Amino acid sequence: MSEIVLYSVLTLGIVAALFSTILYVISRVFAVQEDPRLAEVAEMLPGINCGACGFPGCPGMAEALVKGADTGDISHLSCPPGGQETMDTIGSYFGLETGSAKETVAVLRCGGSCELAPSKNSYDGPASCAIAHSTFAGENGCPFGCLKYGDCEIACPFDAISMNPETGLPEVDQDLCTSCGACVRACPRNLFQIRPVGRRNRRVWINCRSTEPAAVARKNCAVACIACGKCKTVCDDIVQAITIENNLAYIDPDKCIACGKCVTVCPTNAIAATFEPPKPKPKRTEAKPTEA
């Protein structure tokens, strides 16, 4: 009986040793050598893994940079949180030029504050925009407006967003914002957009996302866009940066020159700007000829 046990143990040992040897040989033959540049480039990146670059975290971005370097071009890649300084460091590492990306910032497209879009009903549920969005239109009745529960504030990894207790709306600190896009992904109503900072920090945007008819939109919010077309009319004479679709105007940041003329003609103050827009010049009235 003991001899059977001994033979069994020896047999199992020999089989185990054989398979171990086979696995070792296979691992050596089919081993994939990782490019040492991947770890070095990943070390140069912020390590936030926010996905703002369009890749699954910093390792994905590092892989894209190494592949781009092998083709001799990384100018189409950028790391918003790291900024130009990070890209210049990586460019020096590869000996390649990097693209000069425009400085951007997250912008909230809703002006429905507690005062301008007062509550018409109350919400009795978890303080989460995602959950509230799936259950009702919102306390002010606008199915497109900010729900004011701060999912964006929680999602921001840089503490660049804070909820204003007076307006109930989130505010973006431009100095802290890295345009990582976390707020864009967190907002269930697509109220945030990454837009260029603009020359001399001048930006203009439609501060509304409602596509409801004008009468309904204004009933819910005093500063809703009513798609009247006055902004488009004045802009068409300059740069044609404004389009109107589905009862909502939109300003193309790549075409807009931030002249501010659209701001002054908007009857509902639905257009926001980071500067004081020029006041419209008074129309000249021709003097009537006096009768002799």
How far apart, in whole angstroms, are the C-alpha atoms of residue 77 and residue 252?
23
Q: Profile the chain (292 residues) by mean pLDDT over runs of 10 residues.
A: 71 80 74 78 86 82 90 88 87 87 90 94 90 90 96 95 96 93 95 92 96 95 96 95 96 94 96 88 60 50
In a domain, 291, yes or no: no
Tell me: do 171 and 208 sit in the same domain. no
Residues 191 and 207 in one domain: no
Residue 20 lies in a domain: no
How far apart (Å, rounded) are the C-alpha atoms in residues 202 and 288? 42
pLDDT at 85: 87
My answer on whether 274 and 203 are in the same domain is yes
User: Structural domain of residue 259, as residue ranges?
Assistant: 198-281
Please report, as a single letter, which amino acid is at residue 95: G
Residue 54's CATH number: 1.10.15
Asked if the structure places residue 128 within a domain, the reply is yes
- The residue among 196, 208, 192 whose CA lies nearest residue 256 is 196
Determine the Cα–Cα distance for residues 237 and 232; give it in Å rounded to an integer: 9
Q: At which residue do the structure tokens 């992904």 appear?
A: 185
d(CA 217, CA 248): 10
Q: Are residues 183 and 207 in the same domain?
A: no
Give me the pLDDT at residue 292, please. Answer: 46
At residue 40, the 3 state secondary structure works out as helix
Structural domains of the chain, count: 3
Domain boundary among 143, 177, 197: 197
CA angle 49, 134, 122 (to 5 degrees): 115
Residue 187 counted as domain residue: yes
Task: Indicate if 250 and 222 belong to the same structural domain.
Answer: yes
pLDDT value at residue 15: 80
| 188 within domain boundaries | yes
Q: What is the CATH number of the domain that holds 125?
A: 3.30.70.20
pLDDT at 274 (0 to 100) = 95
- Which residue, 169, 197, 225, sits at the end of a domain? 197
Closest CA to 160 of 194, 117, 132, 133: 194
Question: Which pLDDT does position 9 carry in this prediction?
Answer: 72
Separation CA 131–CA 135 (nearest Å): 7
- Do the beta carbons of residue 235 and residue 241 sit within 8 Å? yes
In terms of domains, do 121 and 165 share one?
A: yes
- Is residue 250 situated within a structural domain? yes
pLDDT at 291: 55
Whether 190 and 220 share a structural domain: no
In a domain, 214, yes or no: yes
